[in-house]
């Protein structure tokens, strides 16, 4: 992977990170603005359900942010685009589809097969 390609992916990752951080801020403001103690139990339950769903979504996004930060670190160390398991190049098309990919298609497939065999 050349320097221009690494810069391209760094910009994609930074943009994705910024978009997620904006969503976090939006959620915090929404939850603060909408927080109310409704006297009606149905209204209160509905609000708690909405907040719970938003918090689960933000938790998934927090995990994605960690992966994005790891990928940005890999770009800065010139390790981006190489499989963690076998060391081969991941491939531009896979990285375009999943910029946080750390495994090549073959290693990811094997990993998924192992997961299915272990799962009950």
Tokens read off for 59? 């938790």
* Alpha-carbon gap, residue 82 to 18, rounded angstroms: 24
| DSSP category for residue 82 | B
pLDDT digits (tens, 9 = 90+) for 6-39: 999 999 999 999 999 998 888 877 777 776 667 7
The torsion angles phi and psi of 84, rounded to 5 degrees, stand at -65, -30
Residues forming CATH 1.20.120.910 domain(s) in the chain: 1-80
pLDDT at 93 over 80: yes
Band of the pLDDT at 120, cuts 50, 70, 90?
A: low
pLDDT digits (tens, 9 = 90+) for 70-86: 999 999 999 999 999 99
What CATH architecture applies to the domain 1-80?
Up-down Bundle (1.20)
């Amino acid at each position: 992977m050349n320097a221009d390609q690494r810069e391209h992916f760094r910009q994609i990752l930074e943009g994705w990170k910024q978009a997620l951080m904006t969503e976090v801020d939006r959620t915090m403001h929404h939850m603060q603005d909408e927080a109310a103690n409704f006297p009606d139990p149905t209204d209160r339950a509905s609000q708690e359900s909405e907040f719970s769903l938003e918090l689960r979504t933000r938790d998934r996004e927090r995990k994605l942010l960690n992966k994005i930060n790891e990928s940005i670190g890999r770009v800065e160390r010139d390790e981006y685009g190489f499989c963690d398991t076998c060391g081969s190049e991941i491939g531009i098309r896979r990285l375009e589809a999943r910029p946080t990919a750390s495994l090549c298609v073959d290693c990811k497939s094997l990993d998924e097969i192992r997961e299915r065999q272990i799962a009950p």
